[in-house]
């Protein structure tokens, strides 16, 4: 069994093969059939059961932010339950939030909320 162990370890170290491919290589070249469980046990016994992978690193987060407060304001409407809608507005520069609850999602509610945003948000207009 030491010869088979050595072949499995060599395939792992030299070619960075997983668990299934070392099963096919000895059967093709040396007419030896090994189960995946046996190969895994051999790799665990020698501390080679995990392949080293390159870690993907994030290049950074690209936030949509504007340098002047009030230059860009994000608005959203969300239905909370039947007959209740939440309006939110967030300033990209200062992250200042204005929220309001309205009974409908009509143009009149939107205009009322926009007036509320202009009053409450510290804009540099």
Q: φ, ψ for residue 78 (rounded to 5)?
A: -130, 135
Q: Could you report the per-residue pLDDT of 5-56, keeping only the tens digit for each? A: 777 777 777 777 777 776 777 666 666 777 788 888 888 887 877 777 777 7
Distance (Å, whole) CA 24 – CA 89: 60
Task: Give Cβ neighbours of residue 77 (< 8 Å, ≥ 6 apart).
Answer: 85, 86, 87, 88, 105, 110
Q: Could you report the per-residue pLDDT of 56-96, keeping only the tens digit for each? A: 777 777 766 678 888 888 999 999 999 999 999 998 888 89
Q: pTM of the entire structure?
A: 0.49
Distance (Å, whole) CA 19 – CA 51: 10
Kindly list the domain boundaries of the chain, sorted by start residue.
2-45, 73-120
Distance (Å, whole) CA 19 – CA 35: 10
Distance (Å, whole) CA 114 – CA 107: 10
């Amino acid at each position: 069994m030491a010869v088979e162990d050595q072949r499995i370890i060599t395939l792992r170290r030299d070619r960075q093969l997983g668990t299934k491919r070392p099963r096919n290589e000895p059967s093709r070249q040396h007419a030896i059939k090994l189960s995946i469980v046996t190969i895994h046990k051999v790799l665990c016994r020698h501390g080679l059961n995990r392949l080293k992978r390159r870690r993907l690193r994030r290049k950074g987060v690209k936030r949509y932010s504007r340098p002047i407060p009030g230059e860009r304001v994000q608005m959203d409407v969300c239905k909370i339950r039947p007959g209740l809608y939440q309006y939110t507005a967030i300033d990209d520069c200062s992250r200042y939030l204005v929220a309001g609850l309205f009974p409908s999602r009509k143009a009149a509610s939107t205009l009322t909320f926009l007036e509320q945003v202009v009053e409450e948000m510290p804009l540099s207009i």
